[in-house]
Structure 1
Amino acid sequence: MLQGELGTNPAVIQILYAFGVGFLSSLTPCVYPMIPITLSIFGARGDVPTRRSFLLSLSYVVGIATTYTILGLVTAKAGMVFGTFLAKPAVVLAIAVFLFLLALHTLGILNIPLAALQSKAGTVGGKGFGGAFLMGTVSGVVAAPCVGPALVLILVEAARAESTLWGGVLLFSYSIGLGLIFLVLGTFSGLVKKLPGSGNWLLTVKYLIAVAVLVTVFYVLKPLDLTVLEKVSSLSPVLAGILIVITAFLGFITLRRQAASGQLVTATVLAFISFGVLNHRPSSGELEVTWQPGPDKALQVARSSGKAVMIDLYADWCAACRELDRLTFSDPRVVKTLNKEVVPARLDFTRETEKNEELSDRYNVMGLPCVLFVDPDGEEIPDTRLTGFVTPEKFLQHVAKVERILKNSVS
C-alpha cells in the first residue's frame, strides 16, 4: 500500500518534494557545468535528429532512474527491517552528525573528497542507446558529488517508509527530477547554448540544499523528544512566517558577502523554523483523542461499554504513522468519532519491548503503520485492519464499517 492516496496529499507532497530535490540537484555547481559534456559523450548533439537525441537522453535518464529506484527499494526494505535499530539514540545521533557534515560540505565549509568519483562516470558507457543507459546507471552512483547531500534527504524518507514500493517511488521521483534537465537539453540541443553560465545563483542552490539537509537533521533528531523541537513545532504560523522571511533575508546577505559562518547560522535557523512549520502541532486547547494507556486498559473499558477497541501501533521512525497522527487523528470529526464510538488505545513500537513482541505475535503484525480493531474479548474484527495512511473521510467510513460488523456479530 502506498503511503497515501494521490489526490489528498502526503503522497503527492512527498513525490513532488523528491522531484524538486532532484531538480535542484541538477543545478548544483558539480552537475550543471557538466551537462553539455555529458550530453556530447553519449551522442545527443546538435547534428543528431531530434527523435534520436530524445531517445538517447531518455536512455540516460532511465539508467539513472534504474539505479536510484533499486536503491530506494533496498533502503526502504532495510528501514522496515531495522526500524527499531534506527530509532536508538546512538544511531539517531550518528545519522544526524553525518547529515550535518554533508550540510557543511554543501556550504563549502568542509571538504569531503567526493569529486574524484565524478570522472569515473564518464569512463563507463559511451555512444548509442546502450552506452547512454549504462552511463546513466553509473552516473546515478558516482557522477555528481553535490548530489550526495540531496540524495541522502530522499534516502532518509525512503528508510522511514512503511513499504518497499514507496521507497522505490520516492527515489524514482528524485531521479526524474535530476534527469529532467538532461532530457530537455538533450532533446533540444540548441538550448544548451542559451544556458546561463555558472555564477552566484548556483551558490544559492547549494544554500537551499543545505537548508533542506538541516531540516532533515531536525527530523532525524525527533525521536529523542527534545524539548526545543517541541517548542518550535508549537510556534504560530504567522510568527514562524515572519521569522523565516527575516532569516532568509539575512541568509541572502551572507551569500552576497560569501560569509561561510553566516551562511551556516542562517541556514540552521531557517531549517529549524521550517521544521517547526512542517511539524506544527495544534495547541493543547484543541480537541484531542482520549487515548487509553494501553490495550489491556482499553479492553477493560470495552467490556463494560460493548464498544470495539482501536489499537494504534506506531513508531517515531514510521512516516505514515506520523501522517496518520498529524492529518487523520487530529481531524475534529475523527476525534469526536473515536472518543464516542470506540475505545482508542495506542502502543509505541519505536523500541522493542516484551509487550510489543507479545502483541505482534498475537495479532501477526507484519509492519507499521498498523491500526487494529478488536472486540471486547480481544479478538480482532475480520477485515478491519489498516496498514497505511488513510484520509479522515475514509477513516470515518472505516470506523462505521467496524461498528456494523461488531453489531452484526453480537446480534
Structure 2
Amino acid sequence: MPISDTPMPLYRFLLLTFLLFCNTALAQLPLSAGGGAGSLLGGVGSTATFLPVHEAFRYGIVDAQRDRIQLQFDIAPEYYLYRHRLGFELVGGDDSISQVHLPDGKAITDEFFGDVEVYYNSLSVQLDITPGNAPARQLRIEYQGCADAGLCYPPEVQLLDLDSGPGAGASDAGEGADAGAAFWWSALLLFAAGLALTFTPCVLPMVPILTSMVLGRSDIDRSRAFLLSLSYVLGMALTFALVGALIGLFGAALNLQARLQSPWVLITFSVFFVIFALAMFDVFNLRLPAFIRDPVERLGSRTRGGSIPGAAAMGVLSSLVVSPCISAPLAGALVYISTTGDALGGAVQLFALALGMGVPLIIVAMFGNALLPRSGPWLNSVKQAFGFGLLAVAIWLLERIIPGPASLALWSALAAGAAVQLGLFDRQPRQGLGRIAQTAALLLAFYSAATLFGALAGGADPLRPLQGLSVGGGSVMATGSSDYFNRTTDPTELRRQLAEARDQGRPAIVELSADWCISCKIMERDILNQPSVRSAGLDDFIRVQLDVTDNTPAQRAWMTEQQLFGPPAFLFIAGDGKELADLRIQGEVSREVFVRHMQTALGGN
C-alpha cells in the first residue's frame, strides 16, 4: 500500500531553533534531489562519504494498538525517501490495514522519472487497522531512498515485531545514544541562544531590576550579590522550564508532530513567524495584554528583593512582564518542544535558554554596570537580525506546500531585504566593520538576483539557484553506456569478466547501476556517454556494469562484501586484478573528478 511524507524531527527543529538565533537558514537548507553539495552554482567537486542505509533511514514503531499503528522514520539530513516506494503490510493473523495516514511530501520533478514526491527529515505514518479474529504478529515495510549528494539505495524490505510495544523493531541499537547526544546539543544551542539574546533590547530591561536589589547597598557583599542574582536567574529559569514542560506534555497529547505537516498549520505558523519578525523590526510592540501586565507589575513593585525568596520571586515576575520581544525567538523553541512530546526535555531546554540569558545578568550584578554593553544602534541591528531569521523560518515552512520556484522567489526577496538592511544603497562611505557589512550586502544582492533568475527558470534549490538554466546544455552524446559497458545482473558473471581482465593484464572499471537510480542516469548522460571522457582513457578499460535493479540476494551479498551501499558506484581494478581502493567513487561526482580518478588508475598500470 503506497504512502507519503515529511514531518519534522529533532534535526529539523534543531535547525529551526538555530535559524531563529543565528540567521543562517540559507546555509542549512536541504538540497534538492539529484543535487550535490559542492558549491552554490556548480556540481559536486569530490567524492562524498555516505551513511549505511540503516543509519540514513531509521525507523521504528512508536505505538502499536489493535486498531492503530504509529510508525516513525527518522531521515538523516540531505537524504530523502520516495513516496511511491513506500508500502506496508501486516503479516500473521487476519488483521488488515484499512487506511494509511501520511502528511504531504515534497514534490520534485526529475528529468528522467518525471514528477515524484519525496520526504526529508522525518516521516510519521499512522496505519488504521481493521481487527480480525487473530492479531497480526509483524508489520512488513518497504522503502527506498537516496542521498542529495548522488547515491540511491536499493529497495529495502523489513519486518517489525508488533508484540514488543513502542519502539519495536527499531532499526539501530545506538539510536538512544544518538538521541541523547542530540538532546544535549539542542540544550547547549538554546543556552548559546540565551547568551545572544542578552545583547538585545529584550533582556537589557532586566538589568536595572536585578542591580537595584544588589548594587549600592552596604549590607550586600559580592558573595551575597551572587546568591541574590543566582536566585533571581533561577526563578526566571524555572518559570521558563515550567512552560517548556507544559508545552512538551500537552504537545505530545495533541500529537502536534503529525498535525504540523498539514497545509493550514504550516501557513498559520508561517504567519505567526512573520508577525514575530515584524515585531523585531519595530512595526509594532509585542507585549502581554495590559489586564495581565499591570497587576503583575504592581505585585513586583511590592516584592522584596533583599532576600533570596524575594529575588527568586522577582525573577519569576520579570520573566512574565519584561522582554516582550523575546516572545518571537521563544516561539520557535516552543514549536520544537511541542513536537518532541518530552515534558522533561522541554523543561531542560527552556531552562538552558533562560540560564543563557541569566549568566550575563549575574556577572553584571556581581561586578557592576561597567560590564554592561552600552545601548546604541548596534543593539537594534542584532534584534533585526533575529527578524530576518524568523522570516527565513517562515519561508522554510512554506517550502513544503508551495511550488519550488515560488519558494526560491521568497528566498530572493529575503536576501534582497537583508542586503538593503546591511547598507547596500548607503551613499556615505563606511569604515571598519561597515565595509564588511556593505561587502556582505553586495554578495547578498548578487545571490538575490541569481535566485530570482533561477525562480523564473523554474528552479527550486536555494543552494543551486541557476541549475535550471544549465540543464540541456552540453556536448553531443555518444552511444548509451548500457551498450558501451558489458552489462550483467549476476555477480558471478562479474567476477568471471574481472578474472579475464586480470589474465589479460588489463585494467577494468566496474559500474554499479540500477534503473531506479536517478544519479546513475545523470552520470551516464553527463560523463560516461561523453566522447571527451571516453577518449580521455575510458576506452582503455575493460568495462563491466552490474545492474542491481532487482536487488537480488546475490547482488546484496556482493554489495555487502564490497562495502557498497547502492548505486552509482565505480570500482577501478588494476591490471593485476586488485582494486585501487583509494580511487573508488560512490555517489554522483563531477566530470572532472571522474576523469582525474580514471587517469590516475591508468597511470598506475
Tell me which of 134, 139, 163 is aligned to 2:313. Answer: 134
Q: Aligned equivalents of 2:236 and 2:564: distance in 1?
A: 42
Q: Distance in 2 between matches of 1:78 and 1:7?
A: 21
Q: Distance in 1 between matches of 2:420 and 2:355?
A: 33
Maintained 8 Å contact 2:286/2:325 = no
Alignment of 1:286-297 (within 5 A): none
Report the counterpart of residue 70 of structure 1 in structure 2: 242
Find the aligned partners of 1:255 and 1:112 in 2 and give their Cα distance. 30
CA 1:37–1:230: 2 relative to 1, 3 Å: closer
Residue 52 (1) aligns with residue 224 (2) = yes
DSSP-derived class of the 1:201 partner:
helix
Q: How far apart, in 2, do the equivalents of 1:45 and 1:256 lie? A: 45
Instruction: Report what 2:277 is aligned to.
Output: 103
| Deviation (angstroms), 1:13 | 4.3
Q: Which amino acid in structure 1 is aligned with residue 404 of structure 2?
A: T
**Distance of 2:348 and 2:406 partners within structure 1:** 29
CA distance in 2, matches of 1:43, 1:203: 28
Q: Which residue of 2 aligns with 1:151?
A: 330
Is the alpha carbon distance of 1:124 and 1:150 closer, same or farther for their aligned partners in structure 2, counting shifts above 3 Å? farther
Q: State which of 199, 211, 228 in structure 1 corresponds to 2:376.
A: 199
Q: 1:276 to 1:126 in 2, by over 3 A?
A: farther
Report the TM-score when normalising by structure 1. Answer: 0.54
CA distance in 1, matches of 2:405, 2:564: 29
Question: Is 1:118–1:144's contact at 8 Å kept on the other side of the alignment?
Answer: no
Whether 2:344 is the aligned partner of 1:165: answer yes
Question: Which residue does the alignment assign to 2:387?
Answer: 210
Assess if the C-alpha contact under 8 Å between 1:79 and 1:161 holds in 2: yes
The residue correspondences of 1:395-410 to structure 2 (distance < 5 A) are: none
SS in 1 for 2:324: coil
Aligned to 1:178: 357
SS of match in other structure, 2:340: coil
Q: Which structure carries more relative contact order (alpha carbon 8 Å, separation 6+)?
A: 1
Unaligned residue ranges in structure 1 (runs of 5+): 258-262, 278-283, 288-300, 306-332, 338-411
Q: What RMSD, in angstroms, separates the aligned Cα atoms of the two structures? A: 4.6
1:40 maps to 211
Pairwise mapping of residues 379-390 of structure 1 onto structure 2 (< 5 A)?
A: none
Give the distance between the partners of 2:400 and 2:202, measured in 1 at CA.
34
Taking a change above 3 Å as real, the CA distance of residues 205 and 77 of structure 1, as seen in their structure-2 partners, is same
Post-superposition offset of 1:55 = 0.6
Provide the secondary structure at the position in 2 that maps to 1:146.
helix
Deviations 1:354-403 (A, max 9, x none): xxxxxxxxxxxxxxxxxxxxxxxxxxxxxxxxxxxxxxxxxxxxxxxxxx
1:49 deviates by 0.8
Larger Rg: 2
Where does structure 2 lack aligned partners over 5 or more consecutive residues? 1-9, 12-175, 428-440, 453-460, 464-516, 521-549, 554-562, 568-605
The Cα offsets for residues 227-275 of structure 1, whole Å up to 9 and x where unpaired, read as 258869xx9xxxx9xx97x975543217989xxxxx9xx89x7xx99x9
Cα 1:195–1:46, aligned 2, differ >3 Å: closer, same or farther? farther
Partner of 2:301: 123
Q: Which amino acid aligns with 2:309?
A: G
In structure 1, C-alpha distance between the alignment counterparts of 2:396 and 2:279, rounded to whole Å: 20
Asked whether the equivalents of residues 398 and 407 of structure 2 are also in contact (C-alpha less than 8 Å), the reply is: no
Equivalent residue runs for 1:337-352 within 5 Å: none
Shift of 1:80: 2.1
| Counterpart for residue 409 of structure 1 | none
The one-letter amino acid of 1:20's match is: A
Please give the TM-score of this superposition, normalised by the length of structure 2. 0.38
1:247-266 equivalence runs, <5 A: 250-253=420-423
Amino acid of the structure 1 residue aligned with 2:222: T
Contact 1:77-1:163 within 8 A present in 2 as well = yes
After superposition, the Cα gap between the structure-2 partners of 1:252 and 1:162, relative to the gap in structure 1 and judged at 3 Å, is: same
Q: 1: CA distance between counterparts of 2:333 and 2:210?
A: 26
What residue in structure 2 maps to residue 320 of structure 1?
none
The 1:211/1:336 distance shift into structure 2, 3 A limit, reads same
Which structure dedicates a bigger proportion of its chain to helix?
Answer: 1
**What's the offset of the Cα at 1:6?**
7.6
Is 1:91–2:265 an aligned residue pair? yes
In structure 1, what is the Cα distance between the partners aligned to 2:340 and 2:462? 21
Shift of 1:76: 1.8
* 1:8 to partner: Cα distance: 9.5
Q: Which letter does structure 2 place at the counterpart of 1:187?
A: M
Equivalent AA in structure 1 for residue 386 of structure 2: I
Aligned mate of 1:21, from 189, 193, 196: 193
Q: How does 1:263-274 map to 2 (within 5 A)?
A: none
Q: Give distance in 1, aligned partners of 2:327 and 2:564.
A: 41
Would you say the 8 A contact 1:73–1:168 is kept in 2? Answer: yes
Structure with higher strand content: 2
Task: Give the residue type in structure 2 aligned to 1:39.
Answer: L
Distance in 1 of aligned mates of 2:179 and 2:355: 20
Q: Indicate conservation of the 8 Å contact 1:44/1:56, yes or no.
A: no
2:27 corresponds to:
none
Amino acid at match of 2:422: F
Q: Following the alignment from structure 1 to structure 2, what is the Cα–Cα distance between the partners of residues 57 and 166?
A: 25
Aligned-residue offset at 1:11:
3.7
Instruction: Tell me the amino acid that sits aligned with residue 202 of structure 1.
Output: L
Q: Distance between the aligned counterparts of 2:334 and 2:195, measured in 1? A: 16
Q: Give the direction of change, closer, same or farther, for the CA distance of 1:30–1:163 in structure 2 (3 Å limit).
A: closer
Q: How far 1:71 moved relative to its partner?
A: 0.8
Give CA deviations for 1:31-53 in whole Å, capped at 9, x if unaligned. 31x24421234335564211110
- Residue type of the partner of 2:221? P
CA distance in 1, matches of 2:315, 2:273: 26
Partner SS state of residue 253, structure 1: coil
Q: Would you say the 8 A contact 2:210–2:232 is kept in 1?
A: no
Letter in 2 for 1:14: S
Specify the SS of the correspondent of 2:304. coil
Residue 31 (1) aligns with residue 211 (2) = no
The offset of 1:89, in angstroms, is: 1.9
What does the per-residue CA deviation read over 1:272-327, in whole Å, with 9 as the maximum and x for residues that have no partner?
A: 99x967xxxxxx9669xxxxxxxxxxxxx99x96xxxxxxxxxxxxxxxxxxxxxx
